[in-house]
Structure 1
Amino acid sequence: MPGTERQRMRWFAVVLPGSAAAAVYGWVHWYLAGPSSPPTAVAVAGGALLVAGACAAYVVRVGGSGGLFGVLFLAVGLLLTVTAADQAAARAEVATCVVEAVHGRVQASYGEGGPPEKTVYRLELRCPGGYPAELKDDRPLAAVGEEIAVAYDPRRRVSPAPEGESAPWRAALCALVLLAAGTEIARRRVRSAGVTSGT
């Protein structure tokens, strides 16, 4: 019986990355799209606890140098899961807006080795209902007088974005790769522990 219990606890580490990702995605989706979502402070604290708790459980169950790499994969994978949930649920509405003005502001480079100088563009918009009123990007999206489709969150929890540019697929794919790597590390540790213990 004790051996069976140990084996269950080892396999817990294998299913942990996928289960944690599902829980984190569900929590963020509920916050961004739920009809009775919690206040922002509660949502952020709850998400941070989910990520930290999953990482702590992974380290305890997997252990060793593999556990260190695995928990890094898990942590980044869960943060990318948050990004994917944000991009999938946060901008549910699309408005066709007219560009009324375009302002460019140069952001200087910060010394050698820093990011290069770039221009940030702020478009003043006239949209049905008056929101969104502006859109920021690192490239000129449209000229004055042109129309642009803008995806936005009606509850204004995140900033608007050009339609089609907040797709979650890239973040979701990267999260999947990292979570799979964390799962594989845990699986190998479970397998080696089983061989060592003679199970």
Structure 2
Amino acid sequence: MQRRLLLTAGLAASAALAGCAGPQVERYASEKPALDLRQYFNGTLDAYGIFTDRSGEVVKRFTVVMRCQWDGDNGVLDEDFVYSDGTKQKRIWRLKHLGNGEYTGEADDVVGQARGRTSGNAFRWGYTLALPVDGRVIEVQFDDWMYLMDERVMLNKATMSKFGVRLGEVTLSFVKRGS
């Protein structure tokens, strides 16, 4: 029992330290154009993405249509995914702007609450996703970064891990319709 407790504590400490590693979003404070999530994620966007496993192999390709709207500091991002194997998925994010570039988000397949922050042209947030895999659901952590390129295009790179072990990455490009 004590060994199991020590192992669990060690894994938790490793995951916490891994979360502190790497660049902080404030590093991008002077980068332009400045990202305002409420402005960018407003209207309809198209996204094109891939999921790569830890070896870098593309495992899935997908497209997303996002219908986004805000009412003050509360936003809804309604996402419809279509995967290369023909499967479909829907996720509806409910976001809240807390001020000072800080946001929280919830969705039905997100465990707890996502938390994030914008700075300059960047947005970083972290969350745990309940991911269906081979008939069961596993909880994986996402370290999700977005970079605004111009008023229409944003790039997104998310690292997916479990117990601090990198499982793969999701890479997306968002394109805002019209302007």
TM above 0.5, one fold?
no
Q: Which has the larger radius of gyration?
A: 1
Structure with bigger strand share is 2
Structure with bigger helix share is 1
What TM-score do you get using the length of structure 2 for normalisation?
A: 0.26
